[in-house]
Chains A and B, each alone.
Chain A
Amino acid sequence: KAGVTQTPRYLIKTRGQQVTLSCSPISGHRSVSWYQQTPGQGLQFLFEYFSETQRNKGNFPGRFSGRQFSNSRSEMNVSTLELGDSALYLCASSLRTGDEKLFFGSGTQLSVL
């Protein structure tokens, strides 16, 4: 069974631009969560989608948004990029929502210049 696939693997953007990251969950998994990982803040929850609906959202500004499609694939978007948005963005999938073990992808490394 294929794991969680995230594309692209690396991305370089400049301040003010926007970016879209993609995540394909494990087949059959309906929940997709997004996390940001930085050396300064560690792993922080961004949001979770389940059955195309945002289940909950972490403490991030509105510039961070996401969506989930009917095939459970998910995208997250960051608008008006800031230098502090440079991070590893991790997507994780699980069968259901609520107290479920998460299966993470390898992440997208975003660098904002």
Chain B
Amino acid sequence: GESVGLHLPTLSVQEGDNSIINCAYSNSASDYFIWYKQESGKGPQFIIDIRSNMDKRQGQRVTVLLNKTVKHLSLQIAATQPGDSAVYFCAESLPNTGNQFYFGTGTSLTVIP
């Protein structure tokens, strides 16, 4: 039969605007979170990470916010550029599970020049 793909949320922003990508994670025991960016034909690329003892972390043009109360993670990209167009994934990891991560379904970001 025909396979049903995951519904991929999409976000379109104007170049120069700020982008916010949201992620609801599944396990309240998860203690480490990563945001990845995946461009067409490439593997996921690390953007930024955060541990559960923090609620905010900043990188170059990116900020990750963690709200453990509602199990929500967000990625903010400042001054979005065309090169930011990609699919963005959040990933969560439980304690003592090595490098086993559970990935979200992804959000497709399109930057309009």
Which A positions have Cβ atoms within 8 angstroms of B? 4, 31, 33, 35, 39-45, 48, 50, 55-56, 58, 90, 92, 94, 97-107
- Contacts A33-B99, A48-B100; A40 near B6 (Cβ below 8 A): yes
Q: Are B32 and A99 in contact (CB under 8 A)?
A: yes
Q: Are B43 and A50 in contact (CB under 8 A)?
A: no
- Contacts A42-B103, A99-B51, A104-B45; A56 near B5 (Cβ below 8 A): no
Residues from chain A with Cβ under 8 Å of B102 in the complex: 45
- Minimum distance in angstroms from A21 CB to a CB of chain B: 13
A16 to B15, CA, bound (A): 49
Q: Are A102 and B99 in contact (CB under 8 A)?
A: yes
Q: Are B43 and A105 in contact (CB under 8 A)?
A: yes
Q: Are A92 and B6 in contact (CB under 8 A)?
A: no
Quick check: is B25 within 8 A (CB to CB) of the other chain? Answer: no
- Minimum distance in angstroms from A52 CB to a CB of chain B: 14
A68 to B70, CA, bound (A): 39
Quick check: is B81 within 8 A (CB to CB) of the other chain? Answer: no
Q: Are A99 and B93 in contact (CB under 8 A)?
A: yes
Q: Are B99 and A100 in contact (CB under 8 A)?
A: yes
Q: Are A39 and B3 in contact (CB under 8 A)?
A: yes
Q: Are A99 and B31 in contact (CB under 8 A)?
A: yes
Quick check: is B98 within 8 A (CB to CB) of the other chain? Answer: yes
Residues from chain A with Cβ under 8 Å of B3 in the complex: 39-40
- Minimum distance in angstroms from B44 CB to a CB of chain A: 5
State which residues 61-113 of B face A: CB under 8 Å.
Answer: 89, 91, 93, 96-106
- Minimum distance in angstroms from A50 CB to a CB of chain B: 7
